[in-house]
Amino acid sequence: MQRTEISPIFQANDASIANRIDLFFDKLSLGRLAARCGITKRKGISPRILLMTIFSLPFLGQNIFRGVVRNNSCEFGKDAVYDFLGSSRFSWRRLLLMVAIKATAMLDALTGDDRETVLILDDTSIHRPRAKKVELLARLYDHCENRFLRGFRMLTLAWSDGASLVPLDFALLSSTDPCNGYQGVTKDLIGGLAGPSAAGKP
């Protein structure tokens, strides 16, 4: 396979990881799926390169600061990454679901018909004890620790065949009780998808 586009962070890193990630992108047609979810750009860095860069960072043991900001071989900066991730025009949840559907179909074909597949709904508390001005930050009850905590609740839907786990969708939840809220909705983000307000409330 001949790679036509490759993330700049691979120039000084393991080429085998680049080959596997590039094969994954091609096999799932991630570029086309991203375009169907509105993830396109009229100018600047290719969305495929940006998406591959962000996707590759955990496999290289790096974060945005080390992989992009401090990487001299990277042809774009952190502003391009943050604008890409924070765009209200892009439907990231739809992209996650479309990729998950293809991934579960691939995994299901590799397992026997006698293996049970299940949907898992997980409700996890995300603690933000030092946060003060985070949009929709609330006081929530944690059933595992049996006490109230400052933060959010992450509701995640996942598919599993007993050996593999594929996330399908997620929602970051706040409290419906105004008395439990530490920070209200920020007017600058109303109508956008960049903050917890986009996930809704339980």
* Rounded Cα–Cα distance for residues 150 and 137 (Å): 7
Predicted confidence at residue 12, as pLDDT, reads 46
Q: Which of 95, 94, 91, 100 is nearest to 119 (CA)?
A: 100
Predicted confidence at residue 177, as pLDDT, reads 83
Task: Give the tens place of pLDDT for each residue, 50-100.
Answer: 888 888 888 878 888 877 887 777 778 888 888 888 888 899 999 999 999
Low-confidence ranges of the chain (pLDDT < 50): 1-6, 12, 190-202
Q: Which helix or strand (DSSP H or E) is residue 27 part of?
A: helix 15-27
* Rounded Cα–Cα distance for residues 132 and 182 (Å): 7
* Rounded Cα–Cα distance for residues 138 and 148 (Å): 10
* Segments making up each domain of the chain, as ranges: 8-86, 114-198
Global confidence as pTM: 0.69
Predicted confidence at residue 188, as pLDDT, reads 60
